[in-house]
Amino acid sequence: MNDGQLLRYSRHLLLDEIGIEGQARLLAAHAIIIGAGGLGSPVALYLATAGVGRLTVIDHDTVDLTNLQRQIAHNLSRVGQPKAESVRASIAAINPDVQLRAIVERADAALLDELLPQAQVVLDCSDNFATRHAVNAACVKHGVPLVSGAAIGFDGQVSVYDSRPSATGAGPCYACLFPPGDNFEEVACATMGVFAPLVGIIGTVQAAEALKLLAGVGTPLTGRLLMLDARSMLWDEMQLVRQPHCPVCGLGAAGLR
């Protein structure tokens, strides 16, 4: 690290759990962020300010006036611009040392197969089940931990899905909790609404979990689903287990070896 980085990240360096070695791991890391909206905004901003050296932000959508109630990476002057490009501009103004690749596309299987072998963590900040399942399948296939968040109305949830073998065994994947064949009701902010700070709370937790994974500190949320009711500001926790017959990470699933 140069003198400017030592000063910029000094508050991290003072933490025994991170220090110079942990910060060096962050600077060398590559994180992929799926979605540059309500969740992706705080995720991208915090990963960039914390010093994650490479970020790839994927979002096919453009900034709309209705987004500005909660999507803090964007501003009025960028209405109509691609969200991924807007995030890149915001991050460049805060930490120009971060290498950020903005991809204005949908996160499909082919794109994920191209990108994931280069990454150490993926953060799913999307807003639909099709994308979430595609991202989860790619993370299982390539052995990359997935930090997943969701928020609608006053309700949010966040977890880490990591099916890589570990000392405590492989954790469940997203499909263990939400099987891809099940018919879950798709809801959207445009029809249901969303409490503005909720996406900030969930997105910030996602960023924290990703930083912990990259720096090798703390205990990740693997195998635990945190659920927030922002009306009462109460958190509930659900223990998750790997499903042996999961079509994505189960023993007979294609691509799992």
Q: Residue 3: its pLDDT value, please?
A: 94
Neighbours of 105 (CB within 10 A): 12
Check the CA dihedral 144-133-238-229 and report its sign: positive
Neighbours of 248 (CB within 10 A): 25
- Residues designated catalytic: 189
Classify residue 250: in a domain, yes or no.
no
- Which is it for strands 121-124 and 234-239: parallel, antiparallel or unpaired? unpaired
Contact predicate 39/202, CB 8 Å: yes
* Secondary structure in 3-state letters for 200-232: HHHHHHHHHHHHHHHHCCCCCCECEEEEEECCC
- Burial status of residue 234 (CB atoms within 10 A of its CB: 0-12, 13-18, 19 or more): exposed
At a CB cut-off of 8 Å and minimum separation 6, what does 171 contact? 160, 161, 162, 163, 164, 222, 223, 240, 242
Classify residue 230: in a domain, yes or no.
yes
135 closest CA partner among 153, 161, 158, 154: 161
Tell me which residue range forms the domain holding 199. 3-239
Q: Residue 163: its pLDDT value, please?
A: 87
Alpha carbon distance 214, 85 (integer Å):
25
What is the pTM assigned to this prediction? 0.93
Classify residue 185: in a domain, yes or no.
yes
- Mean pLDDT (whole number) for 166-189: 77
Q: How confident is the model at residue 256 (pLDDT cuts 50, 70, 90)?
A: very low
The predicted-structure confidence for 118-161, as pLDDT tens digits, reads as follows: 999 999 999 999 999 999 999 999 999 999 999 999 999 999 99
Q: How many domains does the chain have?
A: 1
Classify residue 157: in a domain, yes or no.
yes
Q: Residue 189: its pLDDT value, please?
A: 62
Residue 167 confidence (pLDDT) above 60: no
Classify residue 36: in a domain, yes or no.
yes
Residue 102 DSSP SS3: strand
Residue 12 DSSP SS3: helix
Classify residue 190: in a domain, yes or no.
yes
Classify residue 255: in a domain, yes or no.
no
- Mean pLDDT (whole number) for 164-177: 82
- CATH number of the CATH domain containing 144: 3.40.50.720
Alpha carbon distance 143, 117 (integer Å):
9
Classify residue 135: in a domain, yes or no.
yes
Q: Residue 181: its pLDDT value, please?
A: 78
Amino acid at 62: T
